[in-house]
Amino acid sequence: MSEEENKALIQRWFDEVWNQGNSDVIDELLAEGGVIHGLADATGQPVRGLKAFHEFHNQFRGAFPDIYVSVDDIIAEGDRVVARCSVRGKHTGEQLGFAATNAPIEFGGIAIVRIKDGKIIEAWNQFDFLEMNKQLGVL
């Protein structure tokens, strides 16, 4: 895939998977064995594979059903895409393991994604979940 196609894939990932909550697109854009560093499964390990990502996605979107991820910058080189993002939403669900706070959240982050055969094969996320947790009153 070209660098422009890779950038379009990542833009689609944020638009459809996160902003629209379309979980069917996960299977289309994430490789079966894909690894997402910076997001943790129930054991604290990086999210690996479609099943684990679906679980993470359901939990996070359940806690923040109106989540919106804006891609502020996107850069591609070879098989890698970097996206600088702003995230906002409101904590109205209890899927994070505690009662909904109804608190608004707003934080930033960066994702570096490696694409192979038109699918995300590996990603490194550095999103400011510490700031998110402060806004929720968890910390």
List of E strands, 1-139: 30-40, 46-48, 68-77, 80-90, 104-116, 119-127
| pLDDT at residue 85, as a whole number | 98
| pLDDT at residue 41, as a whole number | 86
Please check whether the domain covering 3-136 is classified as CATH 3.10.450.50: yes
Distances (CA, A) of 50 to 45, 67, 116, 127, 128: 15, 21, 16, 21, 24
* Nearest partner of 73 among 2, 3, 4, 7, judged by Cα: 7
CA 104 to mean position of chain CA atoms:
18
pLDDT of residue 139 exceeding 90, the answer is no
The arithmetic mean of pLDDT across residues 128-137, rounded, is 96
Q: What is the pLDDT of residues 87-122, one digit of tens each?
A: 999 999 999 889 999 999 999 999 999 999 999 999
Q: What is the pLDDT of residues 27-54, one digit of tens each?
A: 999 999 999 999 998 889 999 999 999 9
0.85 exceeded by the pTM? Answer: yes
DSSP state of 91: -
Rounded-to-integer distance, Cα 30 and Cα 120, Å: 5
pLDDT of residue 63 exceeding 90, the answer is yes
| pLDDT at residue 42, as a whole number | 82
The arithmetic mean of pLDDT across residues 127-132, rounded, is 97
